[in-house]
Chains A and B, each alone.
Chain A
Amino acid sequence: MTKMLQHSGYEEERLQRVAELLPCREVQAGMLLSLMGQPQQCSYPSIFIYGHRASGKSHVMQVLLKELELPHATVSCVECVSVALLFEQVLLSFFGCDAASLLPRSPSLSDFVRIYRQHCSQTPAKQTRYIVMEKAELLRDTDANLLPALLRLQELVDDNVTIILLSEIVWDKFRPNTGCFEPLLLHFPDYSKGELQQILSQDKHPSYSAEFYSSYINILLGVFYSVCRDLRELRHLAALNFSKFCEPLAEGKVKETDTHKLWRNIEPHLKKAMQTVYLREVSSLQWEQLQQMEERECGALRGLSAHTHVELPYYSKFLLIAAYLASYNPARTDKRFFLKHHGKIRKTNFLKKNEKTSNHLLGPKPFPLDRLLAIFYSVVDSRVAPTASIFSQISSLVTLQLLTKVSHDDQLDAPKYKCAVSMDFICAISRTVNFEIIKYLYDFL
Chain B
Amino acid sequence: MSTSSVSKGCFVFKPSAKKKKTLSLEDHFSHGCESAESSEKRFKLCQDLWDKIKSDTEVLQDDLNRKILDSLLDFTRKCSSTRQLSDWASQMRASEIPTAALVLGVNVPDHDMTFQSLSELLQQSVTPHVASVQAKECGALKHLMKRVLERLMGTDVTVDDEEEEEAEQTSTPLHKSVDFHLLNIFPVFQKSNTPGKKRSSPSRDDPQQPPVVIIFKDLEAFNPKVLQDFILICSRYIERLPLMFIFGIATSPSTIQHMLPHSVSSLLCIELFQSLSCTQHLATVIDQLILTHHFPFKLNAKVLQVLMSIFLYHDFSVRNFIKGLQLALLEHFHSQPLSVLCCKKKDALLNVMQLSHSDLERIRNLPSFKRYRNTQLNAHTSKESNALGYFCFQEVCQKLIKGLHKYHKNYYPVLRCLHTLTSSLPRYPLGKQVRELHLICLEKNVWENEDYQTAMKLLRMLAKDELVALLQRCVEILQPVKSKKMKNAFLQLTDLLSIHMKLFSTLLEMNESRRAKKLSPFEVLRNEALEFLDNLVKSHLSPPESHTLNEVCYYTSSATVRRHLNATPRTSIQAALNSPYYYLQNDRLKTVDGSVSNSAPDICIAYKLHLECGRLINLYDWLEAYATVVSAAEGNNPDSDNYGKVEEVKHARFIRAVSELEFLGFIKSTKQKTDHVARLTWGGC
Residues of A whose CB lies within 8 Å of any CB of B are 53, 76, 78-79, 81-82, 84-85, 88-89, 103, 105, 203, 205-206, 232-233, 235-236, 238-240, 242-243, 279-280, 283-286, 288, 304-305, 307-316, 385-390, 393, 396, 399-402
Contact = CB atoms under 8 A, between A and B. Distances in A.
Can you list the 7 inter-chain pairs with the closest CB atoms, starting with the nearest? Answer: A239-B92, A81-B142, A389-B314, A388-B567, A314-B313, A304-B253, A283-B269
21 contacts: A76-B236, A78-B229, A78-B232, A105-B183, A235-B92, A239-B89, A279-B262, A286-B271, A305-B257, A307-B274, A311-B106, A313-B311, A313-B313, A314-B312, A315-B313, A316-B314, A385-B571, A388-B569, A396-B108, A399-B220, A401-B220
A399 B270 contact: no
A386 B568 contact: yes
A279 B265 CA distance: 9
Contacts of A388: 566-569
Interface residues on B, range: 35 or more
Nearest to B258: A401
B96 interface: yes
Contact of A81 (B106, B145, B251, B268): B145
B57 to A, nearest CB: 21
A440 B252 CA distance: 27
Given A79-B233, A284-B93, A313-B315, A387 B567 contact: yes
A399 B218 contact: yes
A85 B108 contact: no
B122 interface: no
B315 A389 contact: yes
B506 interface: no
A203 B220 contact: no
B277 interface: yes
A283 B181 contact: no
B310 interface: yes
B280 to A, nearest CB: 11
Interface in B216-262: 218, 220-221, 229, 232-233, 236, 250-258, 262
Contact of B89 (A232, A235, A243, A310): A243
B333 interface: no
Contact of B92 (A81, A84, A203, A233): A203
A311 B278 contact: yes
B251 A401 contact: yes
Contacts of A76: 233, 236
B250 A311 contact: no
Nearest to A204: B88
A313 B277 CA distance: 12
B89 A307 contact: no
A23 B101 CA distance: 38
Contacts of A389: 310, 314-315, 566-567
Contact of B253 (A284, A307, A386): A307
A315 B315 CA distance: 9
A313 B93 contact: no
Interface string B354-383: 000000000000000000000000000000
B105 A311 contact: yes
Given A285-B269, A307-B252, A240 B93 contact: yes
Contact of B270 (A236, A239, A304, A311): A304
A314 B142 CA distance: 39
A305 B254 contact: yes
Contact of A304 (B96, B257, B316): B257
A283 B251 contact: no
B269 A310 contact: no
Given A79-B233, A305-B257, A399-B221, A84 B183 contact: yes
Contacts of A103: 183
Contacts of A387: 314, 566-569
Contacts of A279: 262
B397 to A, nearest CB: 41
B271 A283 contact: yes
Contacts of A313: 106, 311-316
Interface in B630-657: none
B568 to A, nearest CB: 5
A284 B269 contact: yes
B181 A280 contact: no
A105 B181 contact: yes
B135 to A, nearest CB: 8
Contacts of A402: 251
Contacts of B501: none
B346 interface: no
B252 A280 contact: no
Interface string B193-222: 000000000000000000000000010110
A311 B316 contact: yes
A302 to B, nearest CB: 9
B84 to A, nearest CB: 15
Contacts of B105: 311
Nearest to A101: B183
Contact of A89 (B186, B250, B257, B316): B186
B36 interface: no
A393 B313 CA distance: 10
Interface string B79-95: 00000000011001101
Interface in B262-298: 262-263, 265-266, 268-272, 274, 277-279
B568 A385 contact: yes
A400 B106 contact: yes
B182 A84 contact: yes
A307 B106 contact: no
A242 B251 contact: no
A313 B99 CA distance: 29
Given A82-B142, A310-B252, 19 more contacts: A53-B263, A105-B181, A233-B266, A236-B92, A239-B92, A239-B93, A280-B265, A304-B257, A307-B252, A307-B253, A307-B254, A310-B106, A311-B278, A313-B311, A313-B315, A314-B312, A316-B314, A387-B566, A401-B258
Nearest to B82: A285
A139 B566 CA distance: 51
A170 to B, nearest CB: 18
A185 to B, nearest CB: 24
Contacts of B313: 313-315
B277 A304 contact: no
Contacts of A305: 253-254, 257
A380 to B, nearest CB: 10
B229 A88 contact: no
Nearest to B88: A205
A206 B88 CA distance: 8
A285 B92 contact: no
B21 interface: no
Contacts of A390: 314
A319 to B, nearest CB: 11
A280 B270 contact: yes
B330 interface: no
A314 B233 CA distance: 41
A426 to B, nearest CB: 14
Nearest to B663: A413
Contacts of A316: 106, 314
A318 to B, nearest CB: 10
Name, among B251, B253, B265, the residue most crowded by chain A CB atoms within 10 Å (CB to CB): B251
